[in-house]
Each structure stands twice: as C-alpha cells, then as structure tokens.
Amino acid sequence: ELFVQYLASYSYKHGRGKEKNALTYTDLSHTAEECETFQFLADILPKKILASKYLKRLEKEKRDGEVGEGDEEDEEEEHEDEAVGGSVGS
C-alpha cells in the first residue's frame, strides 16, 4: 500500500496532475519511464499510442523483416502526441 501511495504521489507531483487536479495514466507511465526508481514498471505501464500508429509500425516491421528498425522516428511522433494532449489507444 505504501509503495502504491508513493508511486501515485510522485506521479501526481511530477506529472500534469497539479494542472488538472487529477492523476492520469499518462502521468504514471511517464514516471515509470523517466524515474530510475520506477523503471521496472515500464513494461507494465507503457505509453499509450494510437491504434493506427501501432498498425503502421507492425506493417513496417513486416516489410523490414526486423523488429526495432525505425524506432527513432516513432519516438519522435509519440513525443509530438504528448505535446498535443496525449493519445487514446483502442
């Protein structure tokens, strides 16, 4: 319980929680990715991406034959989505 409380309060303080007066999934996933203490949660709390971007990534990986190629381009697009206001996965 104390761990969950610490994760939630840290995410709230270092995320957009103060601005919105709410704790969001994006705040939690950002904390898991950026904070060294919580990096073991990065696989459990991944960043959300649009389904269309995920499908494009799958098609590209099929064409290239290798997983992981073109990740830099996808990361830039994800950061742009966050700046716009996040994304919704389906």
Per-residue pLDDT of the chain (90 residues; tens, 9 = 90+): 998 899 988 888 887 777 778 888 888 888 888 888 888 888 887 777 788 888 888 888 888 876 454 444 444 444 444 444 444 444
Residue 31 inside a domain? The answer is yes
Q: Which domain holds residue 52?
A: 1-62
The number of distinct structural domains making up the chain is 1
What pLDDT, on the 0 to 100 scale, is given for residue 66? 61
Residue 52 inside a domain? The answer is yes
Residue 67 inside a domain? The answer is no
What pLDDT, on the 0 to 100 scale, is given for residue 1? 92
Alpha carbons 63 and 60: distance in angstroms, whole number: 5
Residue 58 inside a domain? The answer is yes
Residue 80 inside a domain? The answer is no
What global pTM score does this model have?
0.50
Alpha carbons 15 and 23: distance in angstroms, whole number: 8
Residue 53 inside a domain? The answer is yes
Residue 84 inside a domain? The answer is no
Cα-only R_g, the chain: 15
